[in-house]
Amino acid sequence: MSFCEEARKETDLYWEASFHHPFIKGIVDGSLPLEKFKYYMLQDAYYLKHYFKSLSIAATKADTIEDIRYFLNQAKYIHEAELELHRTAFKELQVTEEELAQFDPAPAAYNYLSHMYNATHNGDVAEAFAAMFPCAWIYAEIGQKYKHAKPGVALYEQWIALYGSDDFAEIIRGQKEKMDSYAEEQPEKVAIFKRHFEKSCYYEWKFWEMSWTFENWQAEVMTYKYR
């Protein structure tokens, strides 16, 4: 099997948990409260801003013009497609300037990006990519799995349409080819790539859980205090 086939099989627990998480199922059937989606979109906008930065850092570590161009083009896509969805959603969800000014990332979002920045800053371009690309891949599989859903909520339908589109699926095909090529070029680092990949798959699942529960920095302490 290729690296991506192996990594996907070994992390299937997180993928299945994502497919069937109540947050995702709520988007699919339209039952997700808009307040949960608003919370998610704020956290996701924060994540994507730093994902954009990570792609830019990866470009500076690339050794070939092809790779430099690739990572810069991926950053451009994030800016034009995904962040545009967020701008539209913020208007419909009536996100205020005060909310944006007071925004504080939840633990899961903060930890996910700490993991990604660690791989990006301390590893080579392949390690950075191993930590970054599970995000888009999981979203693409969710989009393809539920592309024919009719939630009856415009924001949810737009979300599914973006990640279930043929264009997005084509991006993922290219990403898998690139990650497989990195693994073939550096077989001695495959175990490192897999560790980065698995952590990102875990944090993708954690992102849904974070949004479903309105995770915050006091929640675990309060749970401990009163149990």
| Tokens 């891949």, located at residue | 137
Active-site residue identified among 82, 141, 204, 215: 204
**5 contacts: CB under 8 Å, gap ≥ 6:** none
- How far apart CA 182 and CA 100 sit, in angstroms, is 38
135 is catalytic: yes
- How far apart CA 183 and CA 192 sit, in angstroms, is 10
Active-site residue identified among 82, 127, 135, 141: 135
**113 contacts: CB under 8 Å, gap ≥ 6:** 47, 50, 51, 105
Size (the chain), residues = 227
Of the candidates 104, 84, 98, 92, which has an alpha carbon nearest to the alpha carbon of residue 42? 104
Torsion of CA 62, 63, 65, 69, to 10 degrees: -10
Which sign does the torsion angle of CA 97, 99, 104, 105 carry? negative
201 is catalytic: no
Residues with a catalytic annotation lie at: 135, 204
